[in-house]
Amino acid sequence: MSDFVLPPGVVLIIAAAAMMLAPRAWRAPILLVAPLLALGLIWALPDGPALQIAFLGHTLTPVTADALSRVFATIFAIMAFGGGLFALNQEKTAELASAYLYAGSAIGVAMAGDLVTVFVFWEVMAIGSTLVVWMGGEGARASGLRYAAIHFLGGVLLMAGIAGYVAETGSVAFTAMDVGTIATWLMLIGFLINAGAPPLAAWLPDAYPEASWSGTVFLSAFTTKTAVYVLMRGFPGTDILVPIGLFMIFYGIIYAILENDMRRILAYSIVNQVGFMVTGIGIGTEMALNGAAAHAFAHIIYKALLLMSAGSVLYMTGKRNCTELGGLFRTMPLTCICGTIGAFAISAFPLTSGFVSKSMISDAAAKEHLEFVWYLLAAASAGVFLHAGIKFPWFVFFQKDSGMRPPDPPWNMRWAMVFFAALCIGLGVYPQPLYAMLPYPVDYVPYTGAHVIFQLQLLLFSGLAFFLLLGWLKRTETITLDVDWFWRAFGKLLAQEFDLRSGLAWQGLVGNVNQAMGRFVRALYRLYGPQGALGRTWPTGQMAFWTTVLLVGFLIVEYI
């Protein structure tokens, strides 16, 4: 470990700086080559610490590798490559640089072996993602500020937790911890904020849909999945994560069903899908943790694919609401097919990546005799198909004819979607490469007759429910608020009231100061004005007399 090792995530951070400094013609090669170079470095690292640094009496490990870190770093690098390919047409170089800063920081978290390095990359990741949100335009400014406030709050809690933990234990190593002290609770809360856990989950559907057509693709992959990674690394088997994860699952389903904006639908489904992973981490067995890691890997791919199809529609039509769309399968067939494959994958259709990953979590719950959890996960699988598997492609590509006839997007966007669609199907048909990367040995067979039949029955029932409720599911142009009502509505009222009261108070203060100054000026005028005692003209003789008296008095005092 004496030789210098370049952290794989730093490759993307350097690429971000290079994009801002190099000629524009170099941008595309940088976007495509840097993630592949980072991926090569990830797999070239041997297991164990690869780089260590002495810092303030502690030994930091900025780069370490094992199966868990490698599976997350790998999918982050693949995501950066696919996202970069999709975003080649993005005019804002600053957005692409911010996205690679964001992606590189996520890889940095995944490869970090100590809490200090985790925190540094964690905060850089928050900065990069905030910039990506802001690049969405004027409408994204307010959402970006709310996003930054929530994430910097989480960063403060995480920093306080790390400081307390290091003070208690004397160690900065990032290993499994028990939730038994204030410090570990603060770290857990900081991680859960990034995961989109209640009660602050609203930051995700508030901010992500306001980013650009390409920015949302990057945002979908890194923040929540790095949170899944650190929860797996730091708090596996923590019981409180099971109810938190189940809440996230149904929260995402309910709000996605109520939503009209196609990207907000998919943003809520991120919360829903991360809920499956958090539940698996809470169960804590090897199968459950394998399922959480596999599902995070698969989710990044199919969620990016769904948002690529939604971003393509936005790019070609300028429309984002389901009420404005429909009938696009006629002229955007490739986008429609790829979006449908992503919808099938998120719904865990057989022969897709979601089927071979999500079911591991359910089976882990069954093996631990958590029947209630298993039933809720099964019901949630039906709900996922209802809102993301059917609602998104149906209202965007089918239903009514919107009259729009846009073509499929440019070649790079099409190839990015095809690449991720192929991964969705390839991993579903042949999951062994994914299983081989997981942190624990895999003894799981997804394709059994009972499992396939049960899943198909569940999905068919959900599809029937969708079409029976189709009239109710048609949305209006509204925004659904939950806890964010306190800072988006109630908070606005408080701010307006504060402005009013502070304005009145300022006017009163200014009025009182003006009155006091007026009295002071008038008093001075009475003393020093033409008729004042100190301002009147005194006769010369009288002044000479009193001057003589004073001099005489001074001489007498001096003599005595």
Long-range contacts of 248-251 (CB under 8 A, 24+ apart): 248/195, 248/196, 248/197, 248/198, 248/201, 248/272, 248/274, 248/275, 248/278, 249/275, 249/276, 249/279, 249/376, 249/377, 249/380, 249/383, 250/275, 250/376, 250/380, 250/383, 251/198, 251/201, 251/275, 251/482
**Interatomic CA distance for residues 265 and 420, integer angstroms:** 20
Q: Is 463 within a domain?
A: yes
**R_g of the chain computed on alpha carbons:** 32
DSSP bridge pairs for 48: 65
Upper half-sphere CA count for residue 220 (Cβ side, 13 Å): 35
Q: Is 211 within a domain?
A: no
CA quadruple 305, 307, 313, 314: dihedral positive or negative? Answer: negative
Q: What are the tens digits of pLDDT across the range 448-499? A: 888 889 888 888 887 777 777 666 666 556 667 777 667 667 767 777 778 8
Q: What is the pLDDT of residue 551?
A: 82
pTM (predicted TM-score): 0.86
Q: Is 446 within a domain?
A: yes
Q: Is 142 within a domain?
A: no
Total number of domains in the chain: 1
Regions in the chain scoring below 50 on pLDDT? 1-2
Tokens read off for 367: 């093996």
Q: Is 261 within a domain?
A: yes
Which residue segment(s) compose the domain that 291 sits in?
Answer: 236-496
372, 320 contact by CB (below 8 A): no
Q: Is 171 within a domain?
A: no
Q: Is 195 within a domain?
A: no
Q: What is the pLDDT of residue 2?
A: 45
Q: Is 341 within a domain?
A: yes
List alpha helices for 259-285, DSSP H. Answer: 262-283
Q: What is the pLDDT of residue 53?
A: 86
How far from 254 is each of 250, 388, 521, CA to CA, in Å? 6, 11, 68
